[in-house]
């Protein structure tokens, strides 16, 4: 009785056959089994659209289809098809290392069973199982690289934990990094948070939106520069803007330090007790000169409550140095307005280093 062969080429010797050569054939079989279990081979499929048939090599080593991993190589100028015989049953690690934007399909030689196809842009790896589950229409089954909940597939739903993506990178330290690994967006956390930011894209003719949303009915939206940094808006339209007001039960007298970093309006609710000097500065640690650039302006307001005897702002300094404002109407005020609230408005333009032009006005409210 003659030898028979498996679909992958292993020789099955008949009883009593091959006297004197049995050892050689057994060694060849072992080599075939070795390449089936862990062998690697490259298969060129270079050229235009074509079908490359992988054939069995009975009783000898070297058949491409009898290797565990097959790497497809070469420059392809058309879609490629690679086939195996209908009775082959094994699994393969396939790698598409071809050059050229064309598909590479792996299938049985005939029939209507499922196949696997590398897309025109997929130059990657895939684990597949040749099922030989039907004599006419066997299937090529595409397998994920693993089967647990933590495995990532193209179509599955998984939770990514401690994974790093590139360009941009999402890093497990809690930030998105750029392609160089530098922090780009850092996510801070608040215990039991109920409010958040929504980012919504938009169709043609509409504006994308960044919104404060969450469980609260009214939610502020804070943008906080670091240190003396500014919030800069490009050209556009501002529909609503709230400025910080300091309301103090204080009487105007002596020298009043106006800190523009912490407020846009300073309101004294106690009757003024003497004429006073207003010193406009950044704050106790920063001069106005340091926080403004030449060619920038800032406008602040000071509201002073007056009793039956009125007083007024008779001197203005910036960072402790005297300035002479340009007063609305052409003349500086010579007094306050009794039983009223006087509002002083100062628009300060920085024209050079420690050089300022101030435009001022006094308005009575009663």
**Do 75 and 201 belong together in one domain?**
no
Cβ atoms of 36 and 8 within 8 Å: the answer is: yes
Query: What is the H or E stretch that residue 27 is in?
Result: helix 22-38
**Do 179 and 216 belong together in one domain?**
yes
Give the 3-state secondary structure of residue 11.
strand
| Residue 153 binned pLDDT confidence (cut-offs 50, 70, 90) | low
Q: Does pLDDT of 53 surpass 70?
A: yes
Q: Does pLDDT of 326 surpass 60?
A: yes
Cβ atoms of 262 and 244 within 8 Å: the answer is: yes
List CB contacts of 295: < 8 A, sequence separation 6 or more.
350
Q: Does pLDDT of 151 surpass 80?
A: no
**Do 14 and 92 belong together in one domain?**
yes
Kindly state whether residue 149 falls inside one of the protein's structural domains: no
**Do 265 and 212 belong together in one domain?**
no
Q: Which of 11-20, 25-34, 309-318 has the highest mean pLDDT?
A: 309-318
Closest among 308, 258, 309, 295 to 279, alpha carbons compared = 258
**Do 133 and 177 belong together in one domain?**
no
Number of domains in the chain: 3
**Do 8 and 136 belong together in one domain?**
yes
pLDDT reported for residue 145: 59
The mean pLDDT value for 115-128 works out to: 94
**Do 312 and 357 belong together in one domain?**
yes
Kindly state whether residue 43 falls inside one of the protein's structural domains: yes
**Do 212 and 341 belong together in one domain?**
no
**Do 202 and 253 belong together in one domain?**
no
Residue after which a domain boundary falls, among 95, 125, 143: 143
pLDDT reported for residue 147: 44
**Do 114 and 201 belong together in one domain?**
no
**Do 180 and 69 belong together in one domain?**
no
The mean pLDDT value for 139-165 works out to: 67
pLDDT reported for residue 189: 87
**Which residues partner with 43 through β-bridges?**
72
Domain that holds residue 342: 245-365
In the block, which residue shows the tokens 């071809």? 98
Pairing of strands 265-270, 245-251: parallel
Kindly state whether residue 283 falls inside one of the protein's structural domains: yes
- Find the range with the poorest average confidence among 63-67, 150-154, 175-179: 150-154
Kindly state whether residue 226 falls inside one of the protein's structural domains: no
Query: What is the H or E stretch that residue 289 is in?
Result: helix 288-291
Share of the chain above pLDDT 70, in %: 92
**Do 211 and 260 belong together in one domain?**
no
pLDDT reported for residue 179: 78
Kindly state whether residue 123 falls inside one of the protein's structural domains: yes
Cβ atoms of 142 and 126 within 8 Å: the answer is: yes
The mean pLDDT value for 271-278 works out to: 98
Cβ atoms of 136 and 111 within 8 Å: the answer is: yes
Instruction: Give the whole-angstrom CA distance, residue 35 versus residue 32.
Output: 5
């Amino acid at each position: 009785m003659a030898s028979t062969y498996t679909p992958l080429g292993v020789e099955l010797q008949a009883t009593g056959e091959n006297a004197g050569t049995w050892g050689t054939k057994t060694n060849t079989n072992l080599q075939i089994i070795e390449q089936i279990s862990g062998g690697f081979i490259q298969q060129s499929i270079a050229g235009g659209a074509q079908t490359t048939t992988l054939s069995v090599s009975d009783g000898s080593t070297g058949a491409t289809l009898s290797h565990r991993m097959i790497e497809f190589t070469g420059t392809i100028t058309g879609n490629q098809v690679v086939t195996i015989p209908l009775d082959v049953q094994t699994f393969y690690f396939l790698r598409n290392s071809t050059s050229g934007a064309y598909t590479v399909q792996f299938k049985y030689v005939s029939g209507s069973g499922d196949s696997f196809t590398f897309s025109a842009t997929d130059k990657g790896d895939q684990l597949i199982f040749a099922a030989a589950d039907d004599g006419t229409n066997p299937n090529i089954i595409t397998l994920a690289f693993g089967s647990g909940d933590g495995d990532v597939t193209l179509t599955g739903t998984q939770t990514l934990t401690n994974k790093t993506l590139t360009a941009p990178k999402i890093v497990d330290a809690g930030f998105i990094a750029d392609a160089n690994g530098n922090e780009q967006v850092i996510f801070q956390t608040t215990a039991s948070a109920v409010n958040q930011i929504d980012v919504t894209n938009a169709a043609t003719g509409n504006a994308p939106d960044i919104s404060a949303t969450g469980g609260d009915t009214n939610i502020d939206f804070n943008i906080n520069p670091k240190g003396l940094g500014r919030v800069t808006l490009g050209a556009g339209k501002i529909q609503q803007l709230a400025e910080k007001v300091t309301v103090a039960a204080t009487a105007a007298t002596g020298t009043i330090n106006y800190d523009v970093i912490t407020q846009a309006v300073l309101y004294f609710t106690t009757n003024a007790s003497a004429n006073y000097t207003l010193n406009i500065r950044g704050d106790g640690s920063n001069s106005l000169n340091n926080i403004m650039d030449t060619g920038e302006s800032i406008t602040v307001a000071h509201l002073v409550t007056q009793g039956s005897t009125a007083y007024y702002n008779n001197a203005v300094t910036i960072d402790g140095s005297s300035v002479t404002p340009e007063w609305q109407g052409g003349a500086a005020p010579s007094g306050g307005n009794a039983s009223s609230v006087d509002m002083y408005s100062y628009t300060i333009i920085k024209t050079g280093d420690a050089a300022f032009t101030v435009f001022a006005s006094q308005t009575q409210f009663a």
